[in-house]
Structure 1
Amino acid sequence: MSTIRAATAADLPAVAAVYAPYVLDSVITFEETPPEPSAWREKLTAGLPFLVAEVDGRVAGFAYAGRYRPRPAYRYSLEDSIYLAPWAQGRGLGRALLAALVSACRDSGAGQLIAVIADTGDPSSVKLHLAAGFEEVGRLRRVGFKHGRWVDTTLLQLALD
């Protein structure tokens, strides 16, 4: 049985464990070293939605919203992040997490939700966002360099208001 719920401090080690392989072994995220525990605590206490998917009492993935950009005029625009443990993929948890995150972002008063998706050659993240109502609005070429290669990003946007 799966549940989508607000993340707690007790979930953060499991969240970090889900995320670390993406940092170390892929170009899905542009981080090059896994975040310290303090970085996860900051995300949890930032006052923005941070959710986990739990399967049989085990954290299977997470989604959170962060500020799209730090300047004050962007304060109503958020960026989403969603990650699933490999064993949890293909169960509809990504869809469920994204739907719950969109709802929580609407409730927060945000006006726009932005997805910045690394072009890894796998279209599943773009398809997930399109199915949730996001619109593809652009592409940034060769903006990330990781694991010896340049990576493009696809930008998607969802109006929340």
Structure 2
Amino acid sequence: MKRLFLTAAVAAMFFAAACNQPASKKAEQTQRDTAAVAANAALPDKDNVTEVLNSYIALKNDLVKSDGAASKKSAEKLQQELIEVKGCNEAATLAGSIAATDKVDEQRKAFLTLSKDVITLAKGIKTGKPAFVAYCPMANEGKGGYWLSEAKEIKNPYYGDAMLECGEVKEELK
């Protein structure tokens, strides 16, 4: 019991840092909208983190296909799931900013920061399902960008068909 409490406390601190990346000005309204709902959010656990990861992967796959409309729908679902995880308000706001547009270029910019939060969240809770942290050195105007994938095969969400296989797996999460 003591070990479970210690693990939960460490995970809670980890997630507070994980999901608090700065939001863009465009996302401020979404952040205000999610604040009231977030008050009832649950601490991160295997179940709600698994749901977040599944929705994130769906969003990533839609961005790989450069499908702005599908990305918008996936981001809406991800936003709702992030709202339900305590400490993930900023990440929910980023998902909301992706859901607010059909423009894939804008969605991909927000996805860069969102991915940092979701990767940190995934590292903090073991879901029993492998995930891969991939990196593209060309993303973010040559500054590089990370994303989570369900497979080792590189399918780049930052460039889609233009540079589908640009990147490499940097880490495997189990």
* Greater share of residues in helix: 2
Instruction: Please state which band the TM-score falls in when normalised by the shorter chain.
Output: 0.3 to 0.5
The answer to which structure has the higher strand fraction is 1
TM-score (norm 1): 0.33
